[in-house]
Amino acid sequence: MGELNAKFKSIFEDNHIIVVEKPVNIPSQADKTGDIDMLTIIKAYLKEKYNKPGNVYLGLVHRLDRPVGGVMVFAKTSKSAGRLSNQVREKQFQKTYLVIVNGKMEEQKGTLQDYLLKNEKANMSKVVKEGTKNSKLAILDYEVLKYDKELNLSVLRINLHTGRHHQIRVQLSSRNHSIYGDQKYGGRGHGKQIALWAYELKLYHPITNELMEFKDVPQMLGSWAILKDIQLWNIIYL
């Protein structure tokens, strides 16, 4: 049980929700690999902490791609799960990401809008023309926090309007700004972890309706160690 607990950091918990840091390379929920996943880890943690008999309820409200780490919220009751899921549908649920990309963006801030088509067999998505069968609209806002000319890398803050498969990775790589460490979509940094992190989550508490904000920054290890060279770390806390 100790091994399961060591796989995540609890950020906030009450009777209705639990907010945690999802480590990189752990699935949000069970998948075909059979590897341990966040839903299973947190259920085991709750079962032991509260000495609960039988099955423990835990609702998955949103997901992060397996290689992406950062802040996630899970619902501890079905009522909370329903209300949080409704916030996601009504776009009241705000997720903000940090990302390191190749090159310099044309504008300091802007909105990217594309139509994406998922290739289920390859587990990849691509930008396609509007009207392409099975394509879905993808929209995100970005802001450049820092550009390092010597490294030719930019650090961006990303807000998602939609939650498509590999959306941030695909929209940026299609503009020749692939994410550092993202080998699937042509990123630099061979052998590095993808530099994409869910660092801020804003939501309304499902019971009290209080606006809540949670931040969680990556450790300066792996791909994120490059921030030491960019001298940017303090900006992330703004």
Tokens of 225: 């160690």
- In order along the chain (238 residues), what is the average pLDDT of each group of 10 residues? 59 97 92 89 93 91 92 97 94 92 95 96 94 96 92 93 93 95 82 88 97 90 73 56
Domains and CATH numbers, the chain: 2-229 (3.30.2350.10)
What per-residue confidence (pLDDT) applies to 3? 46
d(CA 16, CA 220): 32
Which pLDDT does position 226 carry in this prediction? 73
pLDDT at residue number 235: 57
In the prediction, which pLDDT does 177 show?
Answer: 96
Residue 117 has what pLDDT? 97
Decide: helix, strand or coil at residue 167: helix
Give the span between the Cα atoms of 202 and 58, in whole angstroms.
20
Q: What is the pLDDT of residue 208?
A: 97
- The pLDDT value given to residue 6: 47
Contact 76/58 with Cβ under 8 angstroms? yes
Q: What SS3 state is found at 142?
A: strand
pLDDT at 163: 87
pLDDT of 127: 96
pLDDT of 133: 96
Residue by residue, DSSP assigns 57-109 as P-EE-----TT-EEEEEEESSHHHHHHHHHHHHTT--EEEEEEEEES--SSSE
